[in-house]
A and B are shown apart, each in its own frame.
Chain A
Amino acid sequence: MEILTNMAQGFSFVLGWQPLLFIVLGVIMGILAGAMPGLSPSMGVALLVPFTYAMSPTLALILLVSIYIAANYGGSITAVTINAPGTPSAVVTSFDGYPLTKQNKPGMGLGVSLVSSTIGGFIGTIILILFSVQLAKIAVKFHPAEYFALAIFGLTTVATLGGRNWVKAFIAAMFGLLINTIGIDPISGVSRFTFGSVHLYDGFSLIPALIGLFALSEVFKQIDEQNFKSKKIELEKTKWPTILDYWKLKLTIIRSSIMGTLIGIFPGAGATIASFIAYDVAKRSSKEPEKFGHGSLEGVAAAEAANSSSVGGALVPLLTLGIPGSASTAVLIGALMIHDLTPGPQLFNNNPEIIYGLFASLLIANLVMLILGLFGSRLWVKVTAVPKKILYPMIFAVSIIGSFAVRYSFFDIAACLGFGVFGWILRRHNYPVAPIVLGIVLGNIAETNFRRAVMMGDYTIFFTRPVSLILLVLALVSFAWPILRNSMSNKKRLQN
Chain B
Amino acid sequence: MKKTLIILLLTIVFFTSCKKTDEEFSFPKKPITIIVYTGPGGLIDITARKFADVASKYTEATFVIENKPGSGGIVAMKRLLQLPADGYTLFACTKSNVSKIVSSGGEAYIEGIDWTAMMMADPECVITYKKQKINSWKDILADAKVKNGDQIWLGPANGGLDHVTALKIWDETGIKAKWIPYKSGGKARAALLGEQGVAYVGNPREVLGNDDLMIAAVSSAKRLVQFPDVPTFSELGITGLDNEFMWRGFVLKKGTPPDIREWFDELFTNVNNDAEWREYWERGGIDVIYKSSEEFTKIVHKDKEQFTHYLQKIGIINTEATNFMAKIATGKALKFLVILFVIIFLIIGFAVNRSPKRKYLVRIMLPIFFIMLSIIFFIISFSFPDNEKVGPSVVPRLWIFILIPLNIYLMFDIFRQKKEIEHKDENKKIVFGFIGLLILYLISIFYIGYFISTFIFIFAGIYILGYRKYLTMLIISFGWLLFSYLIFYKLLYVPLPVGKLIEMFF
List residues of chain A with CB under 8 Å of any chain B CB.
Answer: 46-47, 49-50, 53, 139-144, 167-168, 170-171, 174-175, 177-178, 181, 184-193, 195, 198, 201-202, 220, 223-226, 228-229, 267-268, 317, 321-324, 330-335, 337-338, 340, 342-347, 387-390, 392-394, 396-397, 400-401, 404-405, 407-410, 413-414, 417, 421, 424-426, 428-431, 444, 446-448, 450-452, 454-456, 458
Q: A141-B194, A189-B316, A388-B465 are in contact. Are A455 and B399 (CB under 8 A)?
A: no
A198 and B41 CA atoms in complex are apart in Å by 24
Which one of B103, B467, B494 lies within 8 Å of A189 (CB-CB)? B103
Q: Which residues of B contact A337 (CB under 8 A)?
A: 41, 43, 46
Q: A171-B406, A392-B465, A404-B494 are in contact. Are A344 and B181 (CB under 8 A)?
A: no
Which one of A225, A331, A413 lies within 8 Å of B39 (CB-CB)? A331
B457 and A268 within 8 A (CB):
no
A322 and B210 within 8 A (CB):
yes
Q: Which residues of A contact B157 (CB under 8 A)?
A: 186, 189
A337 and B476 CA atoms in complex are apart in Å by 43
How distant is B414 from chain A, measured CB to nearest CB, in Å? 10
| 4 additional A-B residue pairs with CB within 8 Å, beyond A409-B70, A426-B366 | A188-B392, A323-B186, A396-B438, A448-B182
Interface 1/0s, chain B 95-107, versus A by CB < 8 A?
0000000011000
A331 and B41 within 8 A (CB):
yes
Q: Which residues of B contact A224 (CB under 8 A)?
A: 426-428, 430-431
Stretch at the interface among B25-33, B235-243, B255-263, B439-447: B439-447
A393 and B466 within 8 A (CB):
no
B186 and A338 within 8 A (CB):
no
Q: How many A-B residue pairs have CB under 8 A?
A: 290
A75 and B442 CA atoms in complex are apart in Å by 26
A333 and B40 CA atoms in complex are apart in Å by 10
By DSSP majority rule, is chain A's interface helix, strand, loop, or mixed?
helix
* 7 nearest A-B residue pairs (beta carbon): A334-B41, A393-B461, A344-B209, A342-B209, A140-B194, A201-B71, A189-B159
Flag whether B191 is at the interface (Cβ < 8 A). Answer: yes
A223 and B314 CA atoms in complex are apart in Å by 53
Flag whether B492 is at the interface (Cβ < 8 A). Answer: yes
5 residue pairs bridging A and B, Cβ less than 8 Å apart: A193-B380, A198-B74, A388-B465, A421-B435, A455-B390
How distant is B213 from chain A, measured CB to nearest CB, in Å? 9
Interface hub of A187, A332, A447 (most chain B Cβ within 10 A): A187
A362 and B16 CA atoms in complex are apart in Å by 61
A331 and B40 within 8 A (CB):
yes
A175 and B403 within 8 A (CB):
yes
Flag whether B228 is at the interface (Cβ < 8 A). Answer: no
Flag whether B108 is at the interface (Cβ < 8 A). Answer: no
B46 and A338 within 8 A (CB):
yes
Flag whether B391 is at the interface (Cβ < 8 A). Answer: yes
Which one of A47, A186, A417 lies within 8 Å of B438 (CB-CB)? A417
Q: Which residues of A contact B374 (CB under 8 A)?
A: 178
Which of chain B's residues has its CB closest to A54's CB? B53
Q: Which residues of B contact A202 (CB under 8 A)?
A: 70-71
Flag whether B385 is at the interface (Cβ < 8 A). Answer: yes
A454 and B389 within 8 A (CB):
yes
Of residues 178 through 205 on chain B, the ones whose CB sits less than 8 Å from some CB of chain A are 178, 180-184, 186-187, 189-191, 193-196
B209 and A455 within 8 A (CB):
no
A254 and B233 CA atoms in complex are apart in Å by 54
Q: Which residues of A contact B461 (CB under 8 A)?
A: 392-393, 396
Q: Which residues of B contact A430 (CB under 8 A)?
A: 420-421
Q: Which residues of B contact A229 (CB under 8 A)?
A: 466
Flag whether B377 is at the interface (Cβ < 8 A). Answer: yes
B388 and A390 within 8 A (CB):
no
How distant is B169 from chain A, measured CB to nearest CB, in Å? 19
A186 and B181 within 8 A (CB):
yes
A342 and B285 CA atoms in complex are apart in Å by 13
Which of chain A's residues has its CB closest to B438's CB? A417
Which one of A189, A201, A225, A332 lies within 8 Å of B158 (CB-CB)? A189
Interface hub of B39, B399, B445, B466 (most chain A Cβ within 10 A): B399
B366 and A429 within 8 A (CB):
yes
A279 and B498 CA atoms in complex are apart in Å by 44
Of residues 47 through 106 on chain B, the ones whose CB sits less than 8 Å from some CB of chain A are 49-50, 53, 65, 67-72, 74-75, 78, 103-104
Q: Which residues of A contact B181 (CB under 8 A)?
A: 186-187, 452
A453 and B255 CA atoms in complex are apart in Å by 49
Q: Which residues of B contact A456 (CB under 8 A)?
A: 152, 178, 180, 196
Interface 1/0s, chain B 315-336, versus A by CB < 8 A?
1100100000000000000100
Which one of B46, B406, B476 lies within 8 Å of A174 (CB-CB)? B406
B210 and A414 within 8 A (CB):
no
How distant is B90 from chain A, measured CB to nearest CB, in Å? 17
Q: Which residues of B contact A344 (CB under 8 A)?
A: 208-210
B180 and A452 within 8 A (CB):
yes
Q: A46-B40, A456-B196 are in contact. Are A220 and B442 (CB under 8 A)?
A: no
A195 and B389 CA atoms in complex are apart in Å by 25
How distant is B372 from chain A, measured CB to nearest CB, in Å? 13
A474 and B272 CA atoms in complex are apart in Å by 58
Q: Which residues of B contact A397 (CB under 8 A)?
A: 454, 457-458, 480, 484
B390 and A454 within 8 A (CB):
yes
A396 and B391 CA atoms in complex are apart in Å by 41
Q: Which residues of A contact B380 (CB under 8 A)?
A: 192-193
Which of chain B's residues has its CB closest to A338's CB? B46
Q: Which residues of A contact B484 (CB under 8 A)?
A: 397, 401
How distant is A244 from chain B, measured CB to nearest CB, in Å? 37
B366 and A338 within 8 A (CB):
no
Interface 1/0s, chain B 454-494, versus A by CB < 8 A?
10011001100111000011001000100010001000101
Q: A228-B465, A387-B467 are in contact. Are A394 and B476 (CB under 8 A)?
A: yes
Interface hub of B191, B334, B421, B458 (most chain A Cβ within 10 A): B191
Q: Which residues of B contact A267 (CB under 8 A)?
A: 186-187, 190
Q: Which residues of B contact A347 (CB under 8 A)?
A: 209
How distant is A176 from chain B, measured CB to nearest CB, in Å? 9
B183 and A393 within 8 A (CB):
no
Flag whether B280 is at the interface (Cβ < 8 A). Answer: yes
A170 and B441 within 8 A (CB):
no
Which of chain A's residues has its CB closest to B316's CB? A189
How distant is A335 from chain B, measured CB to nearest CB, in Å? 6
Flag whether B496 is at the interface (Cβ < 8 A). Answer: yes
A268 and B49 within 8 A (CB):
no
Interface 1/0s, chain B 400-440, versus A by CB < 8 A?
10110011011001000000110100111011001100110
Q: A168-B410, A223-B465 are in contact. Are A49 and B41 (CB under 8 A)?
A: yes
Of residues 264 through 313 on chain B, the ones whose CB sits less than 8 Å from some CB of chain A are 280, 283
Which of chain A's residues has its CB closest to B338's CB? A195
A176 and B446 CA atoms in complex are apart in Å by 29
How distant is A107 from chain B, measured CB to nearest CB, in Å? 25
B403 and A190 within 8 A (CB):
no
Q: Which residues of A contact B356 (CB under 8 A)?
A: none
Q: Which residues of A contact B462 (CB under 8 A)?
A: 389-390, 393
Q: Which residues of A contact B392 (CB under 8 A)?
A: 185, 187-188, 190, 192
Which of chain B's residues has its CB closest to A322's CB? B209
How distant is B100 from chain A, measured CB to nearest CB, in Å? 9
Which one of B42, B67, B196, B399 lies within 8 Å of A181 (CB-CB)? B399
Q: Which residues of B contact A178 (CB under 8 A)?
A: 373-374, 377, 396, 399-400, 403
Q: Which residues of B contact A396 (CB under 8 A)?
A: 434, 438, 457, 461
A188 and B316 within 8 A (CB):
yes
How distant is A212 from chain B, measured CB to nearest CB, in Å? 11
Which of chain B's residues has its CB closest to A42's CB? B39
Which one of A170, A334, A390 lies within 8 Å of B40 (CB-CB)? A334
Q: A167-B409, A188-B316, A417-B442 are in contact. Are A451 and B395 (CB under 8 A)?
A: yes
How distant is B485 from chain A, measured CB to nearest CB, in Å? 11
Flag whether B45 is at the interface (Cβ < 8 A). Answer: yes
Q: Which residues of A contact B74 (CB under 8 A)?
A: 198, 201
